[in-house]
Chains A and B, each alone.
Chain A
C-alpha cells in the first residue's frame, strides 16, 4: 500500500533524541553517546529520514563550485588603496592612530616594539574620556544587533568609521557597535 499522506514524515521524536541526531550530523556528539543514537535510528523512521535529508542536502550543496570572479581582487585592492589615502588624511586631521601613519619611516622592529609598548601602556592607562567607554570593557550580556543603516551609502563608496567601534573578542560572543558615514562627511 502506498503511503497516503505526509503524516508519516512528521517528526514526532522527543526533542532530546532529535537534538542528539543533529549533533551527530554536525560532528558535535560525544562518541560515548553514539551507540544510543544508532540504536534509536534503527527503529525510528522520522529520524532516519531527517538524517537522509541532511546528508542529501549536504551532498547537493557540495555540487556547486563557488569561485570568486578574478576581477574582484583588482577591484578590492583599488578600493583599499583609496581607503588608505583617505584614512591617512583623516588620521592627520584627527590625530588618531599616528603609529600606523608613521610605519613607513621606522624599522619593523622598532615599530613592533613601539606597538607592543603602546598596547601595554594602553592596558594600564584608564580609558581616554573622548571615547564612550563608560561601560566595563567586557560586556557579555549585550545582545543589541545594530543594523546600521547603510541606505545613504552607495555600495562602492568607501565606508569610514566616524566613531571608534567597539569590538570585543572573547572565545564566545563577538560584540560590535559602530557607526558609519559617507566619506564626504569628513
Chain B
C-alpha cells in the first residue's frame, strides 16, 4: 500500500491504516530517537509517545504530503524535551570529546564495534541542534528541505549546522589521518 493511501485511510478513521503507518515508520523513528538520546529505553518511550500523539492528533493532519515531516517533528520535539530533562544530570560534551580525541586506533584500522562507538560518541559530542541535522541527513536520508521542516529552521540554517558538524568531524578524523598521510608520504619518499 502506498504511503499516501495509508495516511488518507488513517485520516478517515481506518484503524488498520494507523497500524500500517506505525509499522512502516516505527523503525525509523526509533533509530532517530536512539541516535538523539543514546538510550534505548528513552528512545522506545519517545517513539511510543510520538505515535500516540500522531493518533491523538490525526484529525489535524491536513496535508498528507508532509506526513513524514510532521511525524519527525513530533519525535524531534519529544527528544529535545527528554534531553532537556536529562541534561540536568549528565554533562555530555567535555567527556566525550576527550574520549574521541584520545582514541588510539587510526580510523582506517578500527573494528566494527569501535566504528559504531566512534559514531555514537561523535554524535553525542554535538549539541542537539547539530546532532539532529546530521542524524536526519545520514540516518534518515532526509533532504535539506525536509530537515528544515522537521527542525523548523531555514534552509540556510540547516546547511550551516550540517557543514559545521562535518567540519568538526574532519578535524577530528584529520588528527588520525594526518599520521596516516604522513606515513604514506614517508613511503613515497623512501620508494623513490
Q: Does A186 contact B (CB under 8 A)?
A: no
Q: Does B36 contact A (CB under 8 A)?
A: no
Task: Please give me the residue from chain B that is nearest to A11 by CB atom.
Answer: B167
A97 to B59, CA, bound (A): 9
B4 — which chain A residues lie within 8 A by C-beta?
none
A26 — which chain B residues lie within 8 A by C-beta?
137, 143-144, 162
Q: Is the CB of A72 within 8 A of B44?
A: yes
Q: Is the CB of A169 within 8 A of B55?
A: no
Q: Does B40 contact A (CB under 8 A)?
A: yes
Task: Render B5-43 as a binary contact track against A, CB cut-off 8 A, 1 for contact.
Answer: 000000011100000001000110011001000001010
Q: Is the CB of B173 within 8 A of A167?
A: no
Chain A contact-residue range equals 35 or more
* Cβ 8 A contact of A53, one of B44, B116, B166: B166
Q: Is the CB of B30 within 8 A of A174?
A: no
Looking at A56, A79, A87, the one whose CB has the most chain B CB atoms below 10 A away is A56
Q: How many chain B residues touch A (Cβ–Cβ < 8 Å)?
A: 76
Interface on A for B, CB 8 Å cutoff? 1-3, 6, 8-11, 18-19, 22, 26, 28, 49-50, 52-54, 56-58, 60-61, 63-64, 66-69, 72-73, 75-76, 79-80, 83, 87, 97, 99-100, 103, 108, 111-112, 115, 143, 145, 147-151, 155-156, 158-161, 164-176
A38 to B179, CA, bound (A): 26
Q: Does B103 contact A (CB under 8 A)?
A: no
Distance from A6 Cβ to chain B, minimum over Cβ atoms (Å): 6
* Cβ 8 A contact of B116, one of A9, A11, A63, A159: A63
A6 — which chain B residues lie within 8 A by C-beta?
171, 174-175, 178
Task: Please give me the residue from chain A that is nearest to B110 by CB atom.
Answer: A60
* Cβ 8 A contact of A57, one of B26, B138, B186: B138
Q: Does B77 contact A (CB under 8 A)?
A: yes
Q: Is the CB of A169 within 8 A of B61?
A: yes
Q: Does B112 contact A (CB under 8 A)?
A: yes
A61 — which chain B residues lie within 8 A by C-beta?
119, 138-139
A111 — which chain B residues lie within 8 A by C-beta?
12-13
Q: Is the CB of A3 within 8 A of B119?
A: no
Q: Is the CB of A63 within 8 A of B115?
A: yes
Q: Is the CB of B175 within 8 A of A172?
A: no
19 A-B residue pairings within 8 Å (CB atoms):
A2-B186, A9-B170, A50-B167, A56-B107, A60-B110, A61-B119, A64-B116, A66-B30, A68-B30, A72-B48, A76-B52, A79-B48, A80-B55, A108-B14, A167-B70, A168-B62, A172-B148, A174-B152, A176-B77
Looking at A19, A26, A108, A156, the one whose CB has the most chain B CB atoms below 10 A away is A26
Q: Is the CB of B52 within 8 A of A100?
A: no
A160 — which chain B residues lie within 8 A by C-beta?
56
Task: Render B136-154 as a binary contact track against A, CB cut-off 8 A, 1 for contact.
Answer: 0111000111001110100
- Given contacts A60-B116, A83-B52, 17 further A-B pairs with CB under 8 A are A3-B181, A3-B185, A6-B174, A8-B178, A22-B163, A49-B177, A50-B167, A57-B173, A67-B27, A68-B27, A68-B47, A72-B48, A111-B12, A149-B81, A151-B85, A170-B63, A174-B149
